[in-house]
Each structure stands twice: as structure tokens, then as C-alpha cells.
Amino acid sequence: MDLLNNLLSWILWFPLIGIVIIFLINRTNEKAIKWVALITILIDFILSLILLLNFNFSDPGFQFVEKKKWLDFLNSYYFLGVDGISILFIPLTTLTTLLCILISWNSIKKKVKEFHLALLFTNISIVGTLCALDLLLFYIFWEAMLIPMYLIIGIWGGPRRIYATLKFFLYTFFGSVFMLIAIIYLYIKFGTFDYTLLLNKGYSFGIEKLLFLAFALAFAIKIPMWPVHTWLPDAHTEAPTAGSVILAGILIKLGAYGFLRFVLPMFPHASAYFTPLILTLSVIAIIYGGLACLAQEDLKRLIAYSSVSHMGFVTLGIFSLNPIAMKGAILQMINHGIVTGALFMCVGVVYDRTHSRAINYYGGLATTMPLYAALFMIFTLASIGLPGTNGFIGEFLILAGTFLSNKIATTFAALGVIIGAGYMLWLYQRVFFQKVSPNVKNLPPLKTNELVALIPMVILVFLIGLYPNLFLDFMKTSVANLLMNFK
């Protein structure tokens, strides 16, 4: 079989091989299970790099397209493809899963087999969501994603995990139902689930607005935008490290991806109509999320709220409907995945040692764990957008681009940058500086698996920060193509 022609399918389904092997391994042989999962995802990651290398930069349309008859009676196809908007997220997904397996190497003690199965399933469903071009297929992957996540939080999570999972599940499911109705409506009206055929359909404006809202609600909850964000702090806080990393790293990006892939191209008039609303909500999210961070006493909760603020920048950039801001937004999605994912990993590192997430439990970690403190500092700086790190490029492009279309929104959004420095440095001071807290006096230094999981993130922080064009080049033509609708 020609690998390149079916590359997406390979990337998508390859973890199944690992799943089958893990099924066959005895559950007491935890080491073998971990290694199989690790190697499977490593190969999957390499496959996704091959995907990157074979990408054609000048083609604005879909590449690596696979279209096969699937559910004939519904006229639904197994239809995959990637373009400049989605392609970068595929290696990001496989990389994140890979690092999640590494970082959880020693910290998952119960049901190791199920844990790795759940991670592999998550990987499949997320990659599927990213490359499905058939609405039904997309919806199936979209919902399928919830199940392994639900299990990861519900089984390996913290003390309030049941409340958190239920909230997470109901919240997202609530949003998805409206999207499902909209998809069914589109199917009934046009007889197809094919995304490419559903573009530029002349809806009446009223219907288009309703469809926009139905899709937007599902995506807004996933992102999460203000005011439907309250599931995120609970889910993040209770999730095990790997769960938080996947949630922050990729899952919530899919909301923003949904806007870019479906909402803007399918409903351009409604998108333009609702732009002021979304920009307002984004600015509120940026400032509100930042202020909420100042009030948090829990490490993970603080970082979760910072996600709300950062994703506000992403939606701001998307709905500025301008190429600079939109590229910034896509890059910022990747940045946020890297930086916030890494921050959650870092929190996991100390949580494994102390089993406390309370900020005031810590203090003086820079003295006891200097290497860890240095890595945490790098991610902190990336999170507050220091030039030279990836966070700067994203924020700079978003704000510079948004300034071209909306000066007021940019001004308020830029305030979020001040608040961001405030809460992150305050957090850093309380955890790492000042007197060494007796609780952290004899913490062991970073273990190899933790270091190996964090180093790629550090490299990416500086690679994107210093040479962003490597990544921006992928988006160029696709973003221009997408914005043609709004000329």
C-alpha cells in the first residue's frame, strides 16, 4: 500500500495496533504496556512528521485527501483531508499524547492498562476530528473524544473527580446537541454531509444566523469562551496530569478549530454579523480570565483560568477576520498547547511528590529544585509573551492584526498582557522564591522521564519564538483562502 496516499488513515488508525497489542498483554505486565503505548505513539508522531514534510505550501485546498464510501444509505463518506489550518495540529496531538505517556510513566498506579488504552483512543478521536471532512464523521469523532476523556478524569482524577467529569460531560454534550441538530438540518436540506459541498450555500440570513449559533455554541463551550467556561477549572483541577495536558494541549483547541474549519467558511455572513459579539466575549474572557487567576489559591485552577484568558486571544484573533491576526490565532493555539500543556506537566511533577496543589503549600522551590525552577520559568515567560518565546509571536500577531480591524478591542485585550504578567509572576514568586517551605525541603530532583517530556516543549518554545516562519508558512495560503469569503 502506498503510504503517502493513505497517510492520514495511517496516522489516524495506527494507534489501533497498539490498542490491540495492549489488549493482549497481561495487565500485571505494566512495563510492557507502557512501552507498547509509547512506541505506538512515537511511530504515529513520526508519521505525522512525514505528513508535515510532504505538505504542499502553495495549495490552499485539502491535501492527502481520502474519500471512500462509508454509510451509503446516509450518503456519508469516509472523507479525510488536511489543509494549512489543521495540519500543524496533527503532530501537536501525537506529540502531546507521547509526552503524556512519558510524564505519567510513574504517576499512574492503578489500572495502567486501561489508562493507556484511553490515551490511545483519545489520540485517535482527536486526529479524526482534525481531518474529518464529512460532517457525520466529524461529529462521531467529536463525541467519541468525550468518552476516553470522561474515563481519564473519572478514574484517575482527584477527589472531586465525579462532579468534575459529570460537569465536563454535560456541558460539552449540551453544546454538541445543538450542533447535531444543525448538521441534521443541513443534511435534510442538501442531502449531504460533505463539507466541501456545503460551502457557499445560499441560506436565508435568518437560517444562517441560527446555524451559526448552533455550531458556535458547541465550539464556544469547548474553547471555552466566557461565560460558558466554568467546566474547565473543575475538569482541569481534578484531571490527572495527562488529562489536564490533553485537555489544555489539544482538546480545547478543537473548539477554535471548529470556528476556523466550519463556522467561518460555511456561514460567512452570519460570522461577519456576529463578529462584534464574539470580539466582546473574547475581550471579556481575556480580562476576566486574568482577574480570576489573581484570585486562585490552587496551582491547577490558576493555570486553567489562564487558559480562558489565552483562548480569548485566540478567538479575538480568529474573529478579527484579518490574515495577520488569524495566523497569530492559529499559532497561538499551538503555543498555548505547548506552554499550558508544559505548565500542567510541571504542576504534575510537584503534585506527584507532594500531593498538594495549594499555592501556599509551596515556597522556595528555586532553592530545592533549581533545574525544575528554570524550566518552569521558561514556560512562565512564554505564557506571558516575552519576546523570543513562542507566546510573544502569537500575541504580537493577534494584537497587531486586530489593531488593523478593531482598535478598541486591541486596547482592552492588551490590558490582559499586564494582568498576565501579574498573576504568573506572583504565582512564580509564591511557589519558587522566598523562604524554603518545610513541605518541599527534601523533594527529589527531576526524574529522567519528566525531563525527557519537558525538553521538547522547551525546544518548541524557542523554535517558534525565534523562527516562527517555519510554522506560519503552513498557514499562508489556507488562511488567505479562508478570508476570501470576507472580502
For position 185 contacting other proteins by CB under 8 A, the verdict is yes
Which one of 189, 201, 277, 455 is in contact with other proteins (CB under 8 A)? 189
Which residues, including other chains, have CB under 8 Å from residue 235's CB and lie 6 or more apart? 153, 164, 165, 167, 168, 243, 247, 304
* Cβ neighbours, 10 Å, residue 422: 15
- For the chain, counts of helices (H) and of strands (E): 21, 2
User: In terms of CB distance, is 141 or 288 closer to other proteins?
Assistant: 288
Q: Which of the stretches 196-204, 269-277, 341-349, 417-425 binds other proteins when contact is defined by CB under 8 A?
A: 417-425
* Orientation of helix 112-131 relative to helix 135-144, angle to 10°: 160
Fill in the amino acid letter for 5. Answer: N
For position 357 contacting other proteins by CB under 8 A, the verdict is no
For position 332 contacting other proteins by CB under 8 A, the verdict is no
Distance CA 432, CA 443 (A): 13
Which residues, including other chains, have CB under 8 Å from residue 90's CB and lie 6 or more apart? 11, 48, 51, 82, 127, 130, 131
Cis peptide bond upstream of 445, omega within 30: no
Q: Supply the minimum distance, in Å, between the C-beta of residue 10 and other proteins.
A: 32
Fill in the amino acid letter for 343. Answer: L
Q: Taking CB under 8 A as the criterion, which residues in 283-312 touch other proteins? A: 288, 291-296
Q: Which of the stretches 32-40, 57-65, 252-260, 380-388 binds other proteins when contact is defined by CB under 8 A?
A: 380-388
Distance CA 307, CA 313 (A): 10
Q: Which of the stretches 45-53, 82-90, 247-255, 433-441 binds other proteins when contact is defined by CB under 8 A?
A: 433-441
For position 188 contacting other proteins by CB under 8 A, the verdict is yes
* Cβ neighbours, 10 Å, residue 443: 16
User: In terms of CB distance, is 46 or 386 closer to other proteins?
Assistant: 386
Q: Taking CB under 8 A as the criterion, which residues in 222-261 touch other proteins? A: 227, 230
Which one of 13, 111, 426, 458 is in contact with other proteins (CB under 8 A)? 426
Across-strand partners of 194?
134
* Cβ neighbours, 10 Å, residue 442: 8
Distance CA 429, CA 380 (A): 11
User: In terms of CB distance, is 6 or 434 closer to other proteins?
Assistant: 434
For position 28 contacting other proteins by CB under 8 A, the verdict is no
For position 417 contacting other proteins by CB under 8 A, the verdict is yes
CA-to-CA dists, residue 444 to 371, 430, 487, angstroms: 11, 20, 58
Residue at grid coordinates 497517510: 7
For position 3 contacting other proteins by CB under 8 A, the verdict is no
User: In terms of CB distance, is 346 or 397 closer to other proteins?
Assistant: 397
Which one of 410, 431, 457, 474 is in contact with other proteins (CB under 8 A)? 410
Length of the chain: 487
Which one of 17, 140, 147, 436 is in contact with other proteins (CB under 8 A)? 436
Residues that bind other proteins (CB under 8 A): 167, 170-171, 185, 188-189, 227, 230, 288, 291-296, 322-324, 327-328, 364, 366-367, 370, 381, 386-388, 392-393, 396-397, 399-401, 403-404, 410-411, 414-415, 417-418, 421-422, 425-426, 429, 432-436, 466-469, 472
